[in-house]
Amino acid sequence: MVIFLLCLTGMAITGLQVYNEEQLAHGSSSIPFGEYLRSGSFIEATFENWESEFLQMGAYVVLTIFLFQKGSSESKPIGEHTPQDADPRRTSISDDTPWPVRRGGVWLVLYENSLAIFFFVLFGLSFWFHAVGGAEAYSEEQAQHGLPPVGVVEYLATSQFWFESLQNWQSEFLAVAAIVGASVYLRQRGSPESKPVATPHHETGA
């Protein structure tokens, strides 16, 4: 989180410089830091990236339930029952058991899918804020060329919005494919993302 905050701060500072340079180039005045943080340009740039990250993680959590890669440390063992597959309805209940498991019913259904729900809710929120900020930034560009502004829904139908989204989505899924495939053959001693160094390539990591 410290690294995240440092990077976000650096992004905001350099983003302000880029934004003000563009403003001056178009004959407009520069804006202060606080105003930039509320601008469509900053909001769009921030949530455009968050959107792709949360989509990647949500998809990864769900797809690794059903998909396997022989030899990869990122895959569950093929053909084996794992603790993650255990039905909580058949487990023994204790005082340490999470409350939704003890309660059962809809609470248990939500809880046993809560990690995926969490990431997809964050994806949905980021997707929407990307559209909100993007519509404002896009409308500013439209105004500079004497064209009418667009609303959020209108912006969602533009190629600009989908170009911004898809250019990030493709990189996230490439990164997942890279770690899934590379972890078959490559190792990093001490990392939980790697199989033990001496493990044969064909063995799937647990």
Percent of the chain exceeding pLDDT 70 equals 100
Instruction: Print the domain residue range for 27.
Output: 1-38
Cα distance between residue 197 and residue 203, in whole Å: 12
206 has a pLDDT exceeding 90: no
What pTM was estimated for this model as a whole?
0.90
Instruction: Tell me if 155 is assigned to some domain.
Output: yes
Q: What is the pLDDT of residues 53-86, one digit of tens each?
A: 999 999 999 999 999 999 999 999 998 888 899 9
Cα distance between residue 113 and residue 128, in whole Å: 23
Q: Are residues 47 and 33 in the same domain?
A: no
pLDDT at position 149 is 94
Q: Are residues 70 and 155 in the same domain?
A: yes
Q: Are residues 55 and 31 in the same domain?
A: no
Q: Are residues 54 and 34 in the same domain?
A: no
Q: Are residues 173 and 140 in the same domain?
A: yes
Q: Are residues 128 and 33 in the same domain?
A: no
Q: Measure CA 97 to chain center.
A: 29
Tokens 């980021």 label which residue?
126
Q: What is the pLDDT of residues 87-143, one digit of tens each?
A: 999 989 999 999 999 999 999 999 999 999 999 999 999 999 999 999 999 999 898
